[in-house]
A and B are shown apart, each in its own frame.
Chain A
């Protein structure tokens, strides 16, 4: 079986990995000159915590080690579905039994005057999309000049955080009134802006950039100017569908695929950002990888379907913990859903749960890492949420509610686990005459295992002594550590 994959990005590389050892003859066509890299980690490169080499998905030996025909630096020019053939930009052709489109997406450049010059981005303007963009951003950020980021979505904010961490003065210009409006409600977006603001990022929300002023920055629609030597554009992406459209495949926003990941042409499939599957948000890696896994199994003969991926958005910056999933825009007083919210903007915390029939159907969790982990698993698995919603939202902030006062412990409270000695036995031993720490220890063996309860035995013996005026405290012998 000859399988040809057009695109050597996150989706295409993953599919090729998943097909290793299947016996299929695999051809991968990658327009960029270097091995596939992990786009998710690009914000680490911008932040300076990883090098471009760190984010490569494959070593240069990968095609040889795995018997894969990898064509780098050449693109597909035309698909001939009837002939089961692909024509490449160098004029060569590849015949296939199955063709997979994994062409990804291309950055959308907003219609701000001057961003594009002679059909390409003007000097001082970089789209935050691929590894070369990252190299350019890192290079230009070296002089710590001010940077403007166009777009307050997930990637724009990750880039802004990375650049701020490098010491640049960063301003995010976002046309909507709050950040990450697809994943956050207004209240959540505002708390996020406050958290990021404390890290030195400035925001111009609800404002349009009308003109790029090279060397100066961006002119906004209120007439003000955001000073910037570098403009990073991160305003969204569009599925790359030109090849598919030219070949006559059905395309909506992306190439339309069904639960078999098949397009409208026979033996042509599509996965990742270039594809549109009903019920799946595109533009994220999780669906792309799950599609790759399912398609690999389908192409090797398994009858399996792809039914969508529940998407959880995580902001991948080290010091801001944000998770958003499902339906987040439900109003607190919605009649059909249960909405629970906890807002603590000055401490950078905002959590919102949307539940239906006891299941978490949407959530925003900002500034509460342990809560995010628990809520995400409830959302992914569809298991019923705990009855105490507030405890779920509080996570570790919940008071433990445990007492260590020996007087208030019940008699059954285990003091020494190693020797199964409870408070009752220690009290009994005391009244039977073991009226010192050492006597309590040698009578009950409490404290003779790991030694961890010796302080508790000590405290208990003090408490017993206080109630027992006959005892002389100095004879307790209780100076154990």
Chain B
């Protein structure tokens, strides 16, 4: 490339589900990024976005496959053919010996739609395994299940994010957007300026600081809070009776439960003053336009689906859902958390957000794939159950990991690392040697974000094209190449696993046609032309669906369904032995397991190590000092973290970010108690004790 060549490509940030618009310039062999005007970020970028170009030259970038012949041997560089042949041979052998379910597949919510789609197809068709799930199970699954129960369809935000700017009141539950998706604050600031931003969080986070009302419940008590607020809706005369009669079912049963949760009783469990519960309800009820938005803080619980259902119930009782200018939404976390859960890398799903146990869905997808529906496996175990079973008598003996760093991000991480150790074969696909890649037998070096094209579906269900902006390093191939190479070696016809993203996307469109998440009418050409396409987009001339549910909800009959849910409390309440709640979350400078952001110097300088937020009274009680290292211990493990004394946290709670590896892994503590429906682990609360390191 000539020295002065200057290529500028419109794309989106490699991190969270806001998918901020940016341009990548490949300038004098060094890429730079700059924000551009786009509805989700309105010209803003956080530090992660601004520094994202340095990912492209991250130290330790993998440019050749790595392989070790046996455990204990070092990873050595090998050629692509050798690596692919080796993996295919081992998979063949395992399948012949133990059957197709001897191989598991683990995907990620950061993968493009094309990758997520072909990964699911690869598992079901090339491997024939039912054992595929992905890290979105640890992210969105509770909100997704609750959305489907209430509305018949799950789309994170069933309205464009820009609609929020016209709201008088917004209730943010367990969402620290000021740190996790900073430019999103631009959308909630108008409501904050009108005194209508309410934040529910056990910590007074940067987001809570911007709120006019901060409700600070004990971890694991959000469901009680939602019931108390629903009680206040009724007691204070805010119920939208006409809406409930015309557009919903099931309110009476829900009220019988909420009737037992008067705000003063709820106060005793949550610690949220009864007066504040009422004030929050009044703000929502008196607003012309109001939204309730949930995120991981309220979802990552063993009762996460019920908890989100309770927030939806609140929203429905006020008549907010399915109306232009108001509504309920969930803030998707990972870059493609939305698209990633729609196209078949989930244990129970086929492309288009179809159920894998639905005969019509099976025959449609099998038709597109050119196979007999009977050949498709059934539903498999959920993410944690899959990981927990690795290497056991009935569990997979090999695991292929794409776009996930489970050694850091899975709950009860120490145990999961042991399970990975017990495998006969661990294969990862990554662009750096993540903590999970480091323990793999084979590592495929793959392209990232600006080096490849692909589509993402952002938090508002809008399909975005991330165009290739720069040439990948020599030796690096895309995940689609890896799948293609393995599939062909496993006896699949070459054209069944396209390596060209646009070809894969066209096939995805056909597979999704007629499903809830219908992409059939979306094409790269329409996306290149800048069309704003929110699914469903059933035909090429369909304008997309920015707002769902305006006329009817997606259940037969068109009514939204209240869900009768009651408070149960955390799976592991504090006790004399482990007297504190621990909760986990993110800091602004890091994304997920930190595999990417920990390789960006500016981000590491700003946030270099694990810390534990402790109230000064609690620090005194447990004899730990601000700025010193401490040990945080649960029944499952011990984490080393530097004490940060803050008065913004409840004295009964400590907080740890989960981005750091090794002994600083917050997930060594977390409780894998699973949600009965979504199979979401209880990341957000477990019992711990604290001591000096």
Binding site for B on A (CB under 8 A): 38, 40-41, 44, 49-50, 54-59, 286, 312, 314, 316, 318, 321, 323, 369-370, 372-374, 376-377, 380-381, 383-384, 386-387, 417-420, 445, 448-452
Contacts and interface: CB of A to CB of B under 8 A. Distances in A.
B54 to A, nearest CB: 14
B35 interface: yes
Given A316-B262, A420-B588, A450 B50 contact: no
Contacts, number: 124
Contact of B46 (A38, A370, A373, A449): A449
A6 B31 CA distance: 78
A369 B274 contact: yes
A359 B572 CA distance: 24
B275 A369 contact: yes
Contact of B273 (A56, A316, A370): A370
B617 A387 contact: yes
Interface stretch (B104-112, B232-240, B292-300): B232-240
A450 B652 contact: no
A46 to B, nearest CB: 13
16 contacts: A49-B235, A55-B259, A314-B274, A321-B274, A369-B273, A373-B267, A373-B271, A373-B273, A377-B218, A377-B652, A380-B268, A417-B182, A445-B50, A451-B44, A452-B185, A452-B210
B574 to A, nearest CB: 9
B47 A419 contact: yes
Given A419-B50, A452-B178, 5 more contacts: A54-B234, A370-B276, A372-B273, A418-B182, A449-B45
A192 to B, nearest CB: 16
Given A450-B178, A450-B186, A451-B186, A376 B44 contact: no
B175 to A, nearest CB: 14
B523 interface: no
Interface stretch (B250-258, B365-373, B546-554): B250-258
Interface string B256-298: 1001101011011001111110100000000000000000000
A387 to B, nearest CB: 7
Contact of A318 (B179, B260, B276, B278): B278
B333 to A, nearest CB: 17
Contacts of A449: 44-47, 182-183, 185
Contacts of A386: 617, 651
A445 to B, nearest CB: 6
Interface of B: 35, 44-47, 50, 178-179, 182-186, 189, 206, 210, 218, 234-237, 252-253, 255-256, 259-260, 262, 264-265, 267-268, 271-276, 278, 579, 588-589, 602, 606-607, 617, 620-621, 651-652
B256 A59 contact: yes
Contacts of A44: 235
Tell me whether chain B's interface is mostly helix, strand or loop, or mixed: helix
A420 B617 contact: no
Contacts of A318: 235-236, 278
Nearest to B42: A451
B588 A418 contact: yes
Given A419-B47, A450-B183, A50 B235 contact: yes
The 5 lowest CB-CB distance pairs between A and B, nearest first, are A450-B185, A369-B275, A314-B264, A369-B273, A418-B182
Contacts of A372: 267, 273
A59 B617 contact: no
Contacts of A374: 271
Nearest to B179: A417
Contact of B252 (A50, A59, A286, A445): A59
B178 A373 contact: no
Of the candidates A55, A381, A448, the one having the most CB atoms from chain B within 10 angstroms of its own CB is A448
Given A49-B236, A376-B268, A448 B50 contact: yes
A457 to B, nearest CB: 14
A44 B278 CA distance: 15
Contacts of A445: 47, 50
A376 B267 contact: yes
B198 to A, nearest CB: 15
B35 A54 contact: no
A5 to B, nearest CB: 18
B613 to A, nearest CB: 15
Contacts of B235: 41, 44, 49-50, 318
A196 B674 CA distance: 49
Nearest to B237: A49
Contact of B44 (A314, A384, A450): A450
A286 B264 CA distance: 12
Contacts of B620: 387
A365 to B, nearest CB: 10
Nearest to A289: B260
A418 B262 contact: no
Contact of A450 (B182, B274, B276): B182
Contacts of B606: 420
Contacts of A377: 218, 268, 271, 652
A372 B263 CA distance: 13
A401 to B, nearest CB: 10
B618 to A, nearest CB: 9
A260 B189 CA distance: 55
Given A373-B267, A376-B267, A450-B186, A417 B206 contact: yes
